[in-house]
Amino acid sequence: MEAPYQKSWFKKGQASQKQEGSSRFSKHDQASKLNQLLEDHSVDLDANHKGFVSIVGAGPHDPDLLTVKAVKAIMSAEVLLYDRLVNKDILELASPQADWIYVGKRCGQPSIGQEEICDLMVSLAQQGKRVVRLKGGDPFVFGRGGEEALALVKHSIAYEVIPGITAAIGCSANSLIPLTHRGVARSVTFVTGQVVTGAFEAWSQLMQSGQTLVFYMGLEKSSQIQTGLINSGLREDFPVAIITHGCSPQQQVHVTQLNQLNDLSITLKGVSPALIVMGEVVKLREQLIETVQSVTEYEGI
Ligand SMILES: C[S@@+](CC[C@H](N)C(=O)[O-])C[C@H]1O[C@@H](n2cnc3c(N)ncnc32)[C@H](O)[C@@H]1O
């Protein structure tokens, strides 16, 4: 059976075409509706054709999770600067004349630095280009979007920020782990795995009862995360899930408990991207999975 992600509106080079499916709109209605939305694009270049930068959140992998506003910006871009976690199908939405420039990290090779990315963005905008800076998830969640926006402000370049679905939101919903749930979790905290670098003293504040914790970039730091949380009093069998390749046909959800987090991470070494979700909410998945369609398709159950 076809994975749900492939039932995209946005097939390569055919942004307005929708596959046969369950929609209440006909193919024609859907296409004209999308075209109308795209024509209504709110940001126009001014008469002097000054450059403009859209810092755009591409969400977690699945092109169907893009916002309409993001699609509009991508379709009108002259240059796209994109990161490693951006799905290439999303780039295909751009005009055939648009240039794509990869500015992500390269495995085993030196990657372009943050300063160079900012310089490139500024220089393209100063040449009068309409630039889309495309970032995985949301630009302002562990995405350095703020730094890039500051660089544009410094050079008086007009810009906008278009939100994206951040990995914690997209991957947990797609894995049937509600980040909050009445009577189970009243708050959720997003943490970077880098929290463990240096002398991090605040483990007990990080984890309080009735809370969900989501670690971005945490797989490599699992040993310190496990030890830090257990030493601060969190129970050893606290529920944990690791979601790999979230919101893609390769998505996998590995459920374990806190004292086995590091062992599981060792078996997943090198798998990227991966997100760690901790909290009683992880257990809800067992019930929620019973009649859901998309996850059973994803995981071949
Ligand atoms: C540099 S951060 C960027 C986060 C991004 N700005 C966001 O809002 O999702 C990259 C980390 O996000 C998480 N991540 C991003 N996309 C993911 C996905 N599709 N599945 C699982 N984790 C993901 C991983 O922890 C990855 O190491």
Q: Based on the number of CB atoms within 10 Å of its own CB, is 88 exposed (0-12), middle (13-18) or buried (19 or more)?
A: exposed
pTM of the model: 0.84
Provide the mean pLDDT of the chain.
84
Q: Write down the pLDDT at residue 23.
A: 39
Rounded Cα distance between 229 and 151, Å, is: 37
Q: Who contacts 109 (Cβ-Cβ below 8 Å, separation ≥6)?
A: none
- Could you say which DSSP state residue 219 is in? G
Rounded Cα distance between 84 and 89, Å, is: 13
Average pLDDT score over residue span 18-45: 48
Pairing mode, if any, of strands 187-192 and 211-216? parallel
Residues in the chain: 301
Rg of the chain, C-alpha, whole Å? 21
3-state secondary structure of 210: coil
Q: Who contacts 47 (Cβ-Cβ below 8 Å, separation ≥6)?
A: none
Closest approach atom of ligand 1 to CA 85: 16
Pocket of ligand 1 (CB under 6 A): 60-61, 85, 135-138, 141-143, 166-167, 171, 216-217, 243, 245-247, 273-275
* Residues annotated as catalytic (active site), given as ranges: 83, 105
Instruction: Give me the residue label for tokens 């199908």.
Output: 89
**What tens digit of pLDDT does each residue of 142-193 get?**
999 999 999 999 999 999 999 999 999 999 999 999 999 999 999 999 999 8
Q: Which of 155, 156, 134 is nearest to 145 (CA)?
A: 134
Q: How much distance in Å is there from the Cα of 274 to the middle of ligand 1?
A: 7
pLDDT grade for 49, boundaries at 50, 70 and 90: low
Q: Write down the pLDDT at residue 199.
A: 56
